[in-house]
Structure 1
Amino acid sequence: MSVTIQGNTSTVISNNSAPEGTSEIAKITRQIQVLTEKLGKISSEEGMTTQQKKKWLHWYRSKLKASGLNWSSC
């Protein structure tokens, strides 16, 4: 699975490594979408700094890695 964050709120998620219809992957995909949307709202509504975004993304990547998913960004 790869996640690409484009801008503040646009997210592209593709599932290339797991069979389609896997309920666990679907749940994780939805969680990623929700968290990414929240990140966009936080950054635009509360003025999240670039440094705060970097810290959040570092934390988020560690959670993805712990769950066995791959992270890629452009």
Structure 2
Amino acid sequence: MARRGHVLVALGEPGFRRLLAVRLTSQFGDGIFQASLAGAVLFDPDGRRRPPMWRPGSPCCSCRTR
């Protein structure tokens, strides 16, 4: 329980609160970006003509022979 006092002291500092807010905001933005990127890659409407490359066991583009 001794650490609880350290957390309250840290939250009392305006610099720490600002750092915490910036970090949480940037992590939230990064999560939104990653989710949209995954949605664009996995649910690409133009990619329906070819097999999905993210499926386990499917050959990668550089491994295919013509």
User: Which structure has more RCO (C-alpha within 8 Å, separation ≥ 6)?
Assistant: 1
TM-score higher than 0.5 here? no
TM-score (norm. length: structure 2): 0.39
Which structure has the highest strand share of the two?
1
Which protein has the larger Cα radius of gyration, Structure 1 or Structure 2? 2
TM-score (norm. length: structure 1): 0.35
Which structure has the highest helix share of the two?
2
